[in-house]
Structure 1
């Protein structure tokens, strides 16, 4: 999962970004509304965490602007404005949730997970293909009933492929989903993540496999032999 964090307090911004990264998210963090607009124009995000007190614009207007656009991810407002009128205004502007500072990072994570649920995941929080599953909350994989420990990028790779439901995911999309703006991507980075993930699937005897579409990208398919 990829999050866009807009927060002008550097300490809080760093704390939230570090916590979410450790929880399995890829996080792009910025300070201004202009940076938020630029990021949304060039990348795809699963969730937007937005402070209202931004240095270059009114955060509430930014929420309304973004919520009116097709394809905008769920928005959680994170702010010190605790008045009831402010909460109502934020939700009416289009936010999916409103979290008042100070807050516990565990609560932020729980609220993010809640707004990220899709209808088909509402009861289980599980993505699956064939005998392979991913628990979106714990970031743990399974082959049948056998647990599979996954590193952060391995879990993100598996999530992207499972969400594609058998469609090929091109390399550029994988790079964007697995890495933040300030993380360097080496030429063989995606191949290395796929290789490690394939190895873990093979060790647990998975019938589901990751197929390579040469020069294009990867897809996950059930009950077929992998190609390389």
Structure 2
């Protein structure tokens, strides 16, 4: 076996071993909500495009952690959308338009009645599947809306509680200020009473200091007269 043959076999093996590129998954923009395309997988990223209802997309990857999927539009623009806003099947409106277009002219109408019946049955089954999916999406959206309403109600309740606590705090602060003022007033009153009491004690001491010696002197004078 020649060297060229060896190289050819090795090349074929390498090509077979190399992983094939992931095939893009088809998806469709929801026709129930406005689908926003963002620059990254979060609501904090900028909005770059608003998709039309039922727009066909290529789903390049899904980020389960953030709940976003990276998509490519028919025009080639790439961005991130919420995974729950993607549909696996075209919107019912698109299917109805396609069905209407199929039977809008004699050229598109099957000649065989059986073929017509099969086509109508197929479209009916497709529409029923789509209706089931829409009902499921609608139930999911209603559950999310109920959750959002509950969170909003809790937020309002917390806000009311915070306002009530602020009012109670203001009342307690006012009472505390009043008590501090009364305490200061009582303190000043006690100081004045102690000052008056001290003055009285001092006056009494001076008075006794002057009167008692005179009384003793008079007693001595009387004793000296008798002698």
> Rg larger in 1 or in 2?
2
Q: TM-score, normalised by structure 1?
A: 0.21
By percentage of residues, which structure has more strand? 1
Q: Which has the higher contact order (CA 8 A, sep 6+)?
A: 1
| TM-score (norm. length: structure 2) | 0.21
Q: Which structure: greater helix fraction?
A: 2
